[in-house]
Amino acid sequence: MPRILVTGANGFVGSILCPMLSAGGHAVRAATRTERPGPGGTVESVVVGDINGSTAWTGALSGVDMVMHLAARVHAVNEAAEDSHLYLETNAHGTRHLAEAAARHGVRRFIYLSSVKVNGEENTQHAYSANDVPHPLDAYGSSKWRAEQLLAVTAASTGMQAVIVRSPLVYGPGVRANFLRLLRSVDQERSLPLGAIRNRRSLVNVWNLCDLLIRVLDHPAAAGRAWMVSDGEDLSTPELVRRIARAMGRRARLAALPVPLLHLAGALLGKQAEMRRLCGSLTVDITPTRTQLGWSPPVPVDEALARTVSWYRSTQLAAGSGR
């Protein structure tokens, strides 16, 4: 039975992926940053500390056949601009260092969870594909693109197989930031001025993402390629609000404020980037993923939203908060 090392095992995606791998009969070793409970079940845990260009991987990689590298530095609120080099240190140099160590230990396949931010932030003419010229616009996206490049160099020089999965926004239990704020707003039936937005956005629920990550573990066509992933159903921001409201049994209260006024409000409040994401389109093309990997998203959007709402409600109950 092949042993799989999963980095970021206690994170948002890793906490779902590790039990799925274990349930599928895989031997899983979960790499964690600190000494704390791992994903549980039959998953073995190993502490590796911070991931960067000098992380000690020898113990974690011993006897490992495949690596799933999920760990990354993500955007932090109020992060100073001068801290942008930390993205490169963790996401790019940390990935290169792990890939080189994996190759030395005889790992045969290295799966890297990247981001659609490698492609860019917005599209209107066509959906992003893995063949597009990368155009990252922030420090995070640039660091993920650099990581992809460094991984490709390592794979080419060692013979280790590399697989890249570029994901759009992921939602599910444990989701944070804008998606969690949207859940709260809909749950409280706040009036949201988003009704005039006419955009399309690709999302992926955590179960569909994990299902594809498991598919590329051993699929012969996956190696040496980057693959796009999504739920296969692109939604406008107002439609997403309506779907969440339906899952919650709440009213979707949408006011139709003109989009230029939304952008103006975002500028005045210092939330331009957040407003661009709410109003703009970002879609990905998963046709090659479907046809060449024989993969289809197994969990429909409405079911995934229902599961996410169930998690959200459980956190509200645990916190002792009412509606």
DSSP H helices in 42-136: 58-61, 85-87, 94-104
- Degrees, nearest 5: CA angle 43-95-82: 120
Q: What's the pLDDT tens digit per position in 224-267?
A: 999 999 999 999 999 999 999 999 999 999 999 999 999 999 99
Per residue in 94-115, pLDDT (tens digit) is: 999 999 999 999 999 999 999 9
Q: Report residue 2's pLDDT band, with 50, 70 and 90 as the boundaries.
A: confident
Phi and psi, residue 46, nearest 5°:
-145, 135
pLDDT band, residue 34 (cuts 50/70/90)? confident
Would strands 44-47 and 27-32 be described as parallel, antiparallel, or unpaired? Answer: parallel
- Give the mean pLDDT of 35-40: 60
3-state class (DSSP) for residue 176: coil
Q: Residue 323: is its pLDDT beyond 70?
A: no
Q: How far apart are CA 88 and CA 239, in angstroms?
A: 36
- Cβ-count burial of 31 within 10 angstroms (0-12 exposed, 13-18 middle, 19+ buried)? buried
| Residue 38's pLDDT band (cuts 50, 70, 90) | low
End-to-end CA distance of the chain: 48
- Classify 10 as helix, strand or coil: coil
Domain regions of the chain by residue span? 3-167
Place of tokens 């999965």: 165
Q: What is the pTM of this model?
A: 0.93
Distance between CA 261 and CA 7 in Å, rounded? 42
Q: What DSSP letter does each residue of 22-63 carry, written as one string?
A: HHTT-EEEEEESSSS--S-TT-EEEE--S-STT---HHHHTT
Highest CATH level, class, for 3-167: alpha beta
pLDDT at 37 over 80: no
Per-residue pLDDT at 77 = 47
Residues with catalytic annotation?
140
- Report yes or no: 58 and 49 within 8 Å, Cβ to Cβ: no
State percent of the chain over pLDDT 90: 84
Q: Would you call 74 helix, strand, or coil by DSSP?
A: coil
Average pLDDT for residues 146-151, to the nearest whole number? 97
Helix axes 272-279, 259-268, angle to 10 degrees: 160
The long-range contacts involving 16-24, CB below 8 angstroms and separated by at least 24 positions, are 16/172, 16/173, 16/206, 16/207, 16/210, 17/68, 17/70, 17/210, 17/213, 17/214, 18/43, 19/43, 20/210, 20/211, 20/214, 21/214, 24/214
User: What distance in Å separates the CA atoms of residue 49 and residue 47, rounded to the nearest whole number?
Assistant: 6
